[in-house]
A = this chain, B = another copy of it.
Amino acid sequence: MASDGPRFAFKVKATDGRARTGEIAMKRGTIRTPAFMPVGTAATVKAMKPENVRATGADIILGNTYHLMLRPGAERVAKLGGLHKFMNWKRPILTDSGGYQVMSLSELRKLTEEGVEFKSHLDGSRHMLSPERSMEIQRLLGSDIVMAFDECPRADRPRDEIAASMELSMRWAKRSREGFDSGEDHAQRSALFGIQQGCLDEDLRLQSAQALKEIGFDGYAIGGLAVGEGQEAMFATLDFAPGMLPEDAPRYLMGVGKPDDLVGAVERGVDMFDCVLPTRSGRNGQAFTWNGPLNLRNARHAEDTGPLDERCHCPTCTSYSRAYLHHLQKSGEILGAMLVTEHNLSFYQQLMQAMRDAIAEGRFASFTADFHRHYRA
């Protein structure tokens, strides 16, 4: 592992309104913010070689604790030298805590103060996730940015349930901090993020932010959004939630989102994102462009010799026509998934770079106006 960098140093280089641009220096590399992190669920960013993920401009990727603990298993990954070596990605990796997926994917869950007991969706085997075990797994994986273990309730639950869930997550956040700190070697090379909960409720969000600040984290995630509440409700929450978190730490909006979600969230002070959308859509033939998404399966692309996006400079747009990509999708060819995924990830990174440049140059408002003039969601 590279070790010349600091453990974790966040620097805001410029602000424009509430939008910020800067960088996070870590031992395995520097992360330019606002940052989009491609999702590498099962130790692979689907349909991409790691060197091509890097070539899109990604500084960091995300790995899923829930998936990796079940297959191939955290202890096995550790035995094989850690997640970076296993999957051939040398730069920073953020791992989630497993809290979200264990509630959405596993079977026969039992939630207690201690943690969550569940059965694997793969083979029915029994497992336990708790703050301590989540920290241990993320340490075994060799994660650079570790996420606190939390519970993520649906936004349509009664307020008292949401409050109780948030309070549980804050007790778990404290146990996560202690668990993380007890892994000494790993704690000296990596960072821990807390996760703000409270759904759409301003008071609960504030209580959560205060609890997290009291514990102290390297960065702060905004959890519990992008779970079906809609863009309007999400933006309404982002009008107050980021400002409750420390100015001098990165703010990470988990699981977001569509290109227009990213623009609106950066506008509201968010620094980091992850989402499966560019990769999952790429496999289904949905491409993102500066004019909005397009579906390559549509027959109107069958004889279109133009690229996916005239402004995009990714390898797909410079070498392949929409007609060819349409053909690959219609034929169910793996290369179709590869090329559209590569374009989508490149487009997302070009969007992030355009936002970083606009903020640095103090023209973010004109950037967003221009974006919305062309982009048809």
Residues on A facing B (Cβ under 8 Å): 42-44, 46-49, 71-72, 76, 79-81, 86-88, 283, 302-303, 305, 319-321, 323-324, 327-328, 330-331, 333-335, 337-339
User: Cβ of B80 and Cβ of A330 under 8 Å apart?
Assistant: no
User: Cβ of A88 and Cβ of B334 under 8 Å apart?
Assistant: no
Closest Cβ of chain B to A191, distance in Å, is 26
What residues of B have a CB within 8 angstroms of the CB of A335 in the complex?
44, 46-49
What residues of B have a CB within 8 angstroms of the CB of A87 in the complex?
324
What residues of B have a CB within 8 angstroms of the CB of A305 in the complex?
80-81
User: Cβ of B72 and Cβ of A42 under 8 Å apart?
Assistant: no
Please measure, in the bound complex, the distance between the C-alpha atom of A97 and the C-alpha atom of B338, giving whole angstroms.
Answer: 29
Q: A71-B327, A80-B321 are in contact. Are A47 and B88 (CB under 8 A)?
A: no
User: Cβ of A71 and Cβ of B330 under 8 Å apart?
Assistant: yes
User: Cβ of B43 and Cβ of A86 under 8 Å apart?
Assistant: no
What residues of B have a CB within 8 angstroms of the CB of A338 in the complex?
47, 49, 334, 338
Q: Chain B: which residue is nearest A341 at the CB level?
A: B334
User: Cβ of B334 and Cβ of A72 under 8 Å apart?
Assistant: no
Closest Cβ of chain B to A239, distance in Å, is 39
Please measure, in the bound complex, the distance between the C-alpha atom of A303 and the C-alpha atom of B78, giving whole angstroms.
Answer: 11
Q: Can you list 30 A-B contacts with CB-CB less than 8 angstroms, sorted by A residue number?
A: A42-B331, A42-B333, A43-B324, A43-B328, A44-B331, A44-B333, A44-B335, A46-B333, A46-B335, A47-B334, A48-B335, A49-B339, A71-B330, A71-B331, A72-B302, A72-B327, A72-B330, A76-B323, A80-B303, A80-B305, A80-B324, A86-B323, A86-B324, A87-B324, A88-B320, A88-B324, A283-B334, A334-B337, A334-B338, A338-B338
New A-B pairs, 17, CB < 8 Å, besides A44-B328, A76-B302, A80-B324? A43-B328, A44-B335, A46-B333, A46-B334, A46-B335, A47-B338, A48-B335, A49-B338, A49-B339, A71-B327, A72-B323, A76-B303, A81-B305, A87-B324, A88-B319, A88-B320, A334-B337
What residues of B have a CB within 8 angstroms of the CB of A79 in the complex?
303
What residues of B have a CB within 8 angstroms of the CB of A334 in the complex?
46-47, 283, 334, 337-338
What residues of B have a CB within 8 angstroms of the CB of A49 in the complex?
335, 338-339
What residues of B have a CB within 8 angstroms of the CB of A43 in the complex?
324, 327-328
What residues of B have a CB within 8 angstroms of the CB of A319 in the complex?
88
What residues of B have a CB within 8 angstroms of the CB of A330 in the complex?
71-72
Please measure, in the bound complex, the distance between the C-alpha atom of A86 and the C-alpha atom of B42, giving whole angstroms.
Answer: 33
What residues of B have a CB within 8 angstroms of the CB of A88 in the complex?
319-320, 324
Q: Chain B: which residue is nearest A331 at the CB level?
A: B42
Please measure, in the bound complex, the distance between the C-alpha atom of A46 and the C-alpha atom of B328, giving whole angstroms.
Answer: 10
What residues of B have a CB within 8 angstroms of the CB of A302 in the complex?
72, 76
Nearest 5 pairs between A and B by C-beta?
A: A47-B334, A44-B335, A72-B327, A42-B331, A88-B319
What residues of B have a CB within 8 angstroms of the CB of A331 in the complex?
42, 44, 71
What residues of B have a CB within 8 angstroms of the CB of A86 in the complex?
321, 323-324, 327
What residues of B have a CB within 8 angstroms of the CB of A71 in the complex?
327, 330-331
Please measure, in the bound complex, the distance between the C-alpha atom of A80 and the C-alpha atom of B306, giving whole angstroms.
Answer: 11
What residues of B have a CB within 8 angstroms of the CB of A303 in the complex?
76, 79-80
Closest Cβ of chain B to A61, distance in Å, is 13
